[in-house]
Amino acid sequence: MIAGILESALYVDDLDAAEAFYGGILGLTKIAAQANRHIFFKAGSGVLLIFNPEETAIPAPSGALPVPPHGAKGAGHLCFTLEGDDFAALRARLEEHAVPVEADFRWPNGARSVYFRDPAGNSLECAEKRLWNL
């Protein structure tokens, strides 16, 4: 059966802005890139895939890996896990780069979440793992 999520994808129109945001501001490590198509980042034990939706809608050429066309339009959502003191560092980093925080609160179970957006308008959340009692 399903053991977890290995990768998650977001779609953006500007891969350079995404690289500056996810690599520069959030500090994720870039692990792969293909000009105008995608950029991939290590995110904890998983991978964050950032795609240009116009390019991923094009079927794979003959002889390439048989990855089916895919993509999404409009803002998506992704939640990263943070622990304790990492929230202060996140807030400072977002403030340093003038990234507005949309919400910072505790859920009924006490878990904290901070919401903000990437340059493409994707809704990003950083939350304590206990949000889902994991």
- Does residue 86 register a pLDDT over 80? yes
Nearest alpha carbon to residue 120 among 16, 29, 40, 24: 16
Residue 104 CB partners (closer than 8 Å, separation 6+): 91, 112, 113, 114, 115
* pTM greater than the 0.85 cutoff: yes
- Does residue 110 register a pLDDT over 80? yes
Report the chain's mean pLDDT, rounded to a whole number: 93
Number of compact structural domains in the chain: 1
Look at residue 67 and tell me if it is in a domain: yes
Residue 86 CB partners (closer than 8 Å, separation 6+): 126
Q: What is the pLDDT of residue 4?
A: 80
Look at residue 2 and tell me if it is in a domain: no
Look at residue 112 and tell me if it is in a domain: yes
Look at residue 1 and tell me if it is in a domain: no
Write the CATH number for 86: 3.10.180.10
Look at residue 116 and tell me if it is in a domain: yes
Look at the chain and count its residues: 134
Provide the token pair at 22.
Answer: 């996810």
Look at residue 90 and tell me if it is in a domain: yes
Look at residue 57 and tell me if it is in a domain: yes
Task: Give residue 73's domain range.
Answer: 7-132
Confidence grade of residue 93 (pLDDT, cut at 50, 70, 90) = very high
Q: State pLDDT tens for residues 113-126.
A: 999 999 999 999 99
Give exposure, 95-120, as e/b (b: 16+ Cβ within 10 Å). Answer: eeeebeeeeeeeeeeeebbbbbebbb
- Does residue 133 register a pLDDT over 90? no
Instruction: Please answer whether residues 44 and 81 qualify as being in contact, where contact means their C-beta atoms are separated by less than 8 angstroms.
Output: yes
